[in-house]
Amino acid sequence: MPALRPLIRRLKTFKPLLRKSYISELMGILGSRSLEDAGFMRVGRTTVVVSCDGILEEVVRTSPRLAGYYSVLVNVQDVVCKGARPFGFLYVLSSSSSRARKEMTEGIREGLEKFGLEFLKAHTHPDTSYDAVDGMCVGLARRVLRSDTARVGEDLLLAADLKGTFRRGKLFNALDSVRERSRGEILEQVEGMVGVAEGGLASASKDVSAPGIVGTAAMLCEYSGVGAVLELDRLPLPGGVGVEEWLFTYPSTCYLLTSSRTERCLRTLREHGLEAERVGRIVKGGKVVLRLGGEEETFLDLGRESVFGFRGTWSRKPSRRSRW
């Protein structure tokens, strides 16, 4: 079992987490304080949920097909973690290489087929000096799970699909559980998150992406203006993977949720093919505390530090739409 202090030093310098600090540069320009995984807007009696994301340049350059596939995956999960059913996908391809453009498109097709998405629109830049793929997913929700509504006293839950191919990488590890699942199994997991949202079984939710479980928990806490105690010994693990490796992993299907209806929430997620456990608690103040093997250390003090790069203490203005 790793010692906690050296582990925290590694986590605080984890590049996928540090990249989030640039978000603050743009917030003032846009006049927005939204740090949600996906945007959403009420239209009539439903809510349209939209995500957009690009793939790391290194992945596009070395594995264009995988980049296309992941452009679908990452955007879908940002929509699903809001409690929405994804239905459509749009993308932009940039490359002067015919081979790269074709491989990225083949990867996108694989992703669309896996999730049963409609192809809606695409744009191609065929004469760029770089290779890139950027995607957008659209979904519909009856009730949205926000990321700024975690409440003190709630349990912190982790839901994930832990069966898949684990790849160790230089920047981060990856667990791909989607490729080995049928479309029916994948959509069943989606319905688990939709059921949690529509049943009011969780207060907040966030997709676990490249910054990993600890980084994602810190982002959730900062946006909600709360702290958390995360019990690393309680994390469900993929087979053959230790705690330390798992914390530096991008899992293809993994969500953090907060809930005061813990047992019903966990049962709903498990009934839909996800492994789910209570892994911590939401607490007062801005400290994100980690526990492991009898040790306890502060990972971040959000009263003095910011994942998103805000100077000093960032006070979130409550939104009139903060509860759905």
Residue type, 268: T
Q: What is the pLDDT of residues 2-21, one digit of tens each?
A: 899 999 999 999 999 999 99
Q: Give the Cα separation of 279 and 44 in Å (integer).
A: 37
**Tokens for 11?**
């986590």
On the 0-12 / 13-18 / 19+ scale of CB atoms within 10 A, 12 is: middle
For CA atoms 114, 115, 121, 124, give the dihedral sign.
negative
What superfamily does domain 4-31+146-301 belong to in CATH?
A: PurM-like C-terminal domain (3.90.650.10)
Q: Give the Cα separation of 122 and 317 in Å (integer).
A: 36
Neighbours of 128 (CB within 10 A): 13
Ranges in the chain annotated CATH 3.90.650.10:
4-31+146-301
Q: What is the pLDDT of residues 290-302, one digit of tens each?
A: 999 999 999 999 9
Ranges in the chain annotated CATH 3.30.1330.10:
39-141
pLDDT of residue 33: 79
pLDDT of residue 312: 56
Q: Which CATH class is domain 39-141?
A: alpha beta
Residues of the chain below pLDDT 50: 313-324
